[in-house]
Amino acid sequence: MKRISQLPVANGLKGLRIYQCQVAPAAFTAPGPAPAPPTPSAEHVDIRVARKRKQAELLKKGQDIRAVASGKGGGTAKLKRFWKDVHVQHTEEGLQVFLDKRPLRRPSKDILTIPHHKPHLASAIALEWDLLVSAQQALKTHLIPMTSLVNRALDIADEDKEGRDTIRNNIVTTVMRYLDTDSLLCWAPEAPEDPPGYETHVDRVESLRSIQRRSAEPIIQFLSEKVWPGVELIPVLDADSIVPKSQPQMTRDIIKGWVSGLPAFELAGLERGVLAGKGLLGAARLVVEWSTELAHLRDDVSEKKFGVEEAAKAASLEVDWQTGMWGLLKIHTMLRGKISGGN
């Protein structure tokens, strides 16, 4: 066999050099040692999560600021309110609150319309919105309590027109639960005379039970004579018992029927009062005192006798008494001990 250099070469390929090359053998390598396991960070996971959330909030806030500055809105949380003037307009349907030229709307997108005979309520709602400094505050119901109250009443009225009673029945069920544990019917037992016990105090000359009765009995008398004539309202706690007693069935039926038949605005007001004061009697007394629809149930006097201050004082009487006895810090410590199981 001839070598490559001895092979005949065509005339056109004269001068072409041919090189011989050698291929190096393939190299085989073994895998290296396994990497060291990651070392967990000493920082607690909650701290990292909190930092991530804060970074996300700052990023969102920056986006909102840029959006507001460019006039394109502020996303879900605008940093300044979009209205300058708040006023009430009289329309054929009723009183409406306007933010500049835009009417205030309900969650259902309908225009919030207040009956003509409630001008003070419309003014109160307008004042609420005039005090807001940002549109974001309008999402907090505790800053617009009258607006949320009217929305609730209008929802009840809408259902009444449609022949439905879902909201009304739910409210009746809720408020009736507070009757058997009403604070105006839960009186402390009489303190023993010897030894005087925990009620001893240099500034205290009247027992808690006496104060409770003096505050509750005028309200109970008014309700049992003018609102629910003939109804017997009994104290729900015996002297030596912590389990409340139920009111007589006839009493429950009469009160339930009265609550069920309240107009929409009065029913919404009663619900708000019951939830705020944790009692049905004080809320009923307050609604009757100020309702235009229930004016026939109260005394024919121009000056109101029972207002929000009186209702709040009656509802928080025992807490105020305990605070005066032990001090605010001591009360908080006692409540915290009860919540944590005494530990």
Compute the distance between CA of residue 238 and CA of residue 188 in angstroms, rounded to an integer: 9
pLDDT at residue 103, as a whole number: 94
Helix boundaries (H) for the chain: 45-69, 119-131, 145-162, 166-176, 208-222, 249-260, 264-277, 280-290, 308-315, 317-326, 328-339
Write out the CATH class of domain 86-159.
alpha beta
pTM of the model: 0.70
Q: Where are the beta strands (DSSP E) in the chain?
A: 86-90, 95-99, 102-103, 113-114
In which element (H, E) is residue 167 found? helix 166-176
3-state secondary structure of 308: helix
Instruction: Return the domain boundaries, the chain.
Output: 86-159, 165-189+204-338
Compute the distance between CA of residue 125 and CA of residue 87 in angstroms, rounded to an integer: 10
Rama region for 73: left / alpha / beta (φ>0; ψ in -120 to 50; rest):
left
Lowest-confidence segment of 43-47, 49-53, 129-133, 297-301 by average pLDDT? 43-47
The percent of residues above 90 in pLDDT, for the chain, comes to 38
Q: State the Cα torsion 312-317-319-323 to the nearest 10°.
A: 110
Quote the mean pLDDT of the chain.
Answer: 80
Compute the distance between CA of residue 299 and CA of residue 303 in angstroms, rounded to an integer: 10
Q: What is the DSSP letter of 110?
A: S
Compute the distance between CA of residue 175 and CA of residue 146 in angstroms, rounded to an integer: 20
Q: For 315-338, what is the mean pLDDT?
A: 69
| Beta strand 86-90 pairing with 113-114 | unpaired
Of residues 274, 248, 276, the one with CA closest to residue 259? 274
Architecture label for domain 165-189+204-338 = Orthogonal Bundle (1.10)
State pLDDT tens for residues 161-197: 999 999 999 999 999 999 988 989 888 877 666 555 5
CB contact burial 162-183 (16+ within 10 A = b; e otherwise) = eeeeebbeebbeebbebbeebb
Omega cis (within 30) before 195: yes
3-state secondary structure of 102: strand
Q: For 291-295, what is the mean pLDDT?
A: 87
Q: For 27-54, what is the mean pLDDT?
A: 69
